[in-house]
Amino acid sequence: MADAAVAGKSGKVVIRNIGLLLSGDIDRPILDADCIVIDDGVIVAVGREKDLDAAQPKTLIDAKGTCVCPGLIDSHVHPVFGDWTPRQNQLGWIDSTMNGGVTTMVSAGEVHLPGRPKDIVGLKALAITAQRAFDNFRPGGVKVIAGAPVIEKGMVEQDFADLAAAGVKLLGEVGLGSVKAGYEAQQMVAWARRHGIQSTIHTGGPSIPGSGLIDKDVVLEADADVIGHINGGHTALPERDVCTLCEKSSRAIEIVHNGNEKIAIAAAQAAMLLKCPHRVILGTDGPAGSGVQPLGILRMISLLSSLGNIPAELVFCFATGNTARIRGLNGGLVEPGRDADFVFLDRAQHTAGRTLLESVQLGDIPGVGMVMIDGLVRCGRSRNTPPATEVPVVVGG
């Protein structure tokens, strides 16, 4: 599929006959609306069709009473270049993940590049190259926010200023390089923050050669913006330490697919108990040794809703609006001015749930009927999810 950078503008798009509209906003997760109007990839109006200017669209989509949700955001991926991962020697993993409803990915470091440079000049060059490459090319249309250098000993503040000036906005997981002590990480995280670069810290046991244990004390001292895979990637800290991090830190709580599922539930429940569900964001932490998970975000939503006993409409916000706000992205929320990135969902055929939300709370993942990025349809019925009971159709355009 052509990348979205050369696919052209969407023009006016109208999505009508929406049965359930999830907003991505955890303070108001469900909107009383049945229609969305888009112009050149941006939402311009949301409401009841009778109250909107829905006439003469370039593209008209009948949602067929299904659910429209902001495109899912994977807060933790490890891309390399293009749609190939050397970690599993797999082609097409990003396009496949788009078939799981993901429209945006955030890199936690391009750590799987064979021969990844660890000298300061090399790591900066790699980050800038990755940022430029994924800015120019979107596999399957997916927006990959990449260029996340793994910090190493010897870096000074000017290095972070150079990276920021070149367009780098992220740090790779703190702890995957030679910087592992809390006081060292704290200094570099502060430099990064000063220059507008967001940081994520590895949490838990080692995941790749060169990484090591990052315990709760290091996480608290480093004070990175995101507590990366708080449920371990793969090995988690003790549950009491994870709950301590949720309580004593004010930073984002990132829960991933490639981690400890028991601790994932405990972290989400701790956030609910502490009345800070807006801090919870979701990722897959793939590609990894356990593979690539095209449905990883949907599986996490189902897991946390069913076994964590958290309303499904709130958990969808973990993977959309929460991440958009914490990561500074323009998608993830259904409101005028936001990117027109959507996943059209319905309950899977033959699920025990009577509605989409009920089926998710029962532990089933929904069927994806369509994915839209920047107002452009990127796929119809997903090749990866169970078949949706009903699917939207393009009826005009």
Q: pLDDT tens digits for 328-353? A: 999 999 999 999 999 999 999 999 99
21 and 151: one domain?
A: no
Q: Is residue 306 part of a domain?
A: no
149 and 63: one domain?
A: no
For residue 268 the two structure tokens come to 């989400």
Q: Is residue 266 part of a domain?
A: yes
Question: Which tens digit of pLDDT belongs to each residue from 240-270?
Answer: 999 999 999 999 999 999 999 999 999 999 9
Question: Which tens digit of pLDDT belongs to each residue from 82-101?
Answer: 999 999 999 999 999 999 99
3-class secondary structure, 93: helix
Contact 267, 251 (CB under 8 A): no
3-class secondary structure, 251: coil
198 and 164: one domain?
A: yes
Q: Is residue 277 part of a domain?
A: yes
Cis (ω within 30 of 0) for the bond into 294?
A: no
pLDDT at 200 over 70: yes
Looking at residues 227-250, what average pLDDT do you find?
A: 96
What pLDDT does residue 211 have?
66
User: Is 166 exposed, middle or buried (CB count within 10 Å of its CB: 0-12, 13-18, 19+)?
Assistant: middle
pLDDT at 236 over 90: yes
At position 144, the amino acid (one-letter code) is V
81 and 142: one domain?
A: yes
83 and 132: one domain?
A: yes
**Where is pLDDT greater, at 7 or 95?**
95
pLDDT band at 5, cuts 50/70/90? Answer: very low
86 and 224: one domain?
A: yes
Could you give the C-alpha distances from 293 to 1, 94, 96, 172, 396, in angstroms and in order? 20, 10, 9, 20, 34
What pLDDT does residue 110 have?
97
Q: Is residue 320 part of a domain?
A: no
pTM above 0.85, yes or no: yes
As a whole number of angstroms, the distance between CA 373 and CA 119 comes to 37
Question: Which tens digit of pLDDT belongs to each residue from 282-309?
Answer: 999 999 988 899 999 999 999 999 999 9
Q: Is residue 197 part of a domain?
A: yes
pLDDT at 2 over 60: no
What pLDDT does residue 3 have?
56
Last residue of a domain, one of 267, 294, 321: 294
- How many domains are there within the chain? 2
Could you give the C-alpha distances from 357 to 236, 287, 293, 316, 365, in angstroms and in order? 29, 28, 22, 10, 10
Last residue of a domain, one of 294, 326, 352: 294
What pLDDT does residue 154 have?
97
3-class secondary structure, 188: helix
51 and 79: one domain?
A: no
What pLDDT does residue 387 have?
97
How many whole angstroms from its chain centre is CA 40?
23
Return the CATH number at 212. Answer: 3.20.20.140
79 and 41: one domain?
A: no
Structural domain range at position 382: 4-69+334-396
Q: Is residue 212 part of a domain?
A: yes
For residue 251 the two structure tokens come to 């930073």
64 and 93: one domain?
A: no
Contact 69, 38 (CB under 8 A): no
Looking at residues 37-62, what average pLDDT do you find?
A: 97
For residue 371 the two structure tokens come to 């994915």
61 and 191: one domain?
A: no
3-class secondary structure, 169: coil
pLDDT band at 208, cuts 50/70/90? Answer: low
3-class secondary structure, 397: coil
pLDDT at 210 over 70: no
Could you give the C-alpha distances from 242 to 239, 249, 268, 282, 308, in angstroms and in order? 5, 10, 10, 16, 16
Bridge partners, residue 14, by sequence = 37, 60
What pLDDT does residue 1 have?
42
What pLDDT does residue 193 have?
98
As a whole number of angstroms, the distance between CA 97 and CA 320 comes to 15
226 and 368: one domain?
A: no
As a whole number of angstroms, the distance between CA 100 and CA 113 comes to 25
358 and 210: one domain?
A: no
